[in-house]
Amino acid sequence: MSALKSKHILGLFDMPVDDIQLILKTAGSMKYMLTSGNKRGPHLQGKSIVTLFYENSTRTRLSFELASKYLGASAANISASGSSVSKGETLLDTARTINMMGADVIVIRHPMSGAPRFLSKHIKASVINAGDGMNEHPTQALLDMYTIMEKKGAISGLNVCILGDIYHSRVARSNIWGLTKMGAKVSVAGPATLLPPQIEKMGVKVFGTVQQAIIDADVIINLRIQAERLSHCLLPSLREYSRFYGVDRKILSLAKKDAIILHPGPVNRGVELTSDIIDGDSSFINEQVTNGVAVRMALLFLLTRRSTDEAAC
Partner 1 sequence: MKLLVKSGHVVDPKSDFSDICDILTENGIIVKMGRDLHEEADDLIDAAGKYVIPGLVDCHCHLRDPGYEYKEDIATGTRSAAAGGFTSIACMPNTNPVADNQAVLSYISETASRKGVVNVFPIGAITKGQQGKELADIGELKFAGAVGISDDGNPVENSMVMLRALQYSSAFNIRVISHCEDKSLTDGGVMNEGYYSTVMGLRGVPAVSESVMVSRDLLLSEYTGIPIHIAHVSTEMSVNLIRNAKKRGVKVTCETCPHYFSLDESACSDFNTMAKVNPPLRSEKDVNAIIEGLKDGTIDIIATDHAPHHMDEKNVEFNLAANGITGFETALPLAIAYLVKKGHLTMEQLVKKMCCNPANMLGIRKGTLEVGGAADIAIVDVNEEYTVDTSKFISKGKNSPFNGFKLYGKPSYTIVGGKIVVRDKKLMV
Alpha-carbon span 249 to 267, nearest angstrom: 17
Size of the site for partner 1 (CB under 8 A): 25
Nearer to partner 1, 53 or 301 (CB): 53
Q: Is 198 in the site for partner 1 (CB under 8 A)?
A: yes
Q: Is 133 in the site for partner 1 (CB under 8 A)?
A: yes
DSSP 265: S
CB of 125 to partner 1, least distance (A): 18
| Strand stretches in 12-147, DSSP E | 48-53, 74-79, 105-110, 126-132
CB of 260 to partner 1, least distance (A): 26
| CB contact at 8 A, 147 and 24 | no
Count of CB atoms situated within 10 Å of the CB of 281: 9
Q: Is 132 in the site for partner 1 (CB under 8 A)?
A: yes
| Contact window for partner 1 (CB under 8 A) among 45-53, 132-140, 237-245, 299-307 | 132-140
Count of CB atoms situated within 10 Å of the CB of 215: 14
Q: Tabulate helix, strand, coil % of the chain (nearest 5).
A: 45, 15, 40
Alpha-carbon span 227 to 206, nearest angstrom: 24
Q: Is 92 in the site for partner 1 (CB under 8 A)?
A: yes
Across the beta sheet with 74-79, the strand order is 74-79, 48-53, 105-110, 126-132
Site string for partner 1, 30-69 (x = CB under 8 A): ----------------------------------------
Q: Is 152 in the site for partner 1 (CB under 8 A)?
A: no
| Contact window for partner 1 (CB under 8 A) among 86-94, 100-108, 152-160, 286-294 | 86-94
Alpha-carbon span 70 to 78, nearest angstrom: 20
CB of 196 to partner 1, least distance (A): 4
CA diameter of the chain: 59
Q: Among 124, 232, 239, 243, indicate the residue that binds partner 1 (CB under 8 A).
A: 232
| CB contact at 8 A, 302 and 278 | no
| Contact window for partner 1 (CB under 8 A) among 65-73, 105-113, 276-284, 300-308 | 105-113
Name the site residues for partner 1 (rule: CB under 8 A): 13, 90-92, 110, 112-115, 117-118, 132-136, 170, 173, 196-199, 201-202, 232
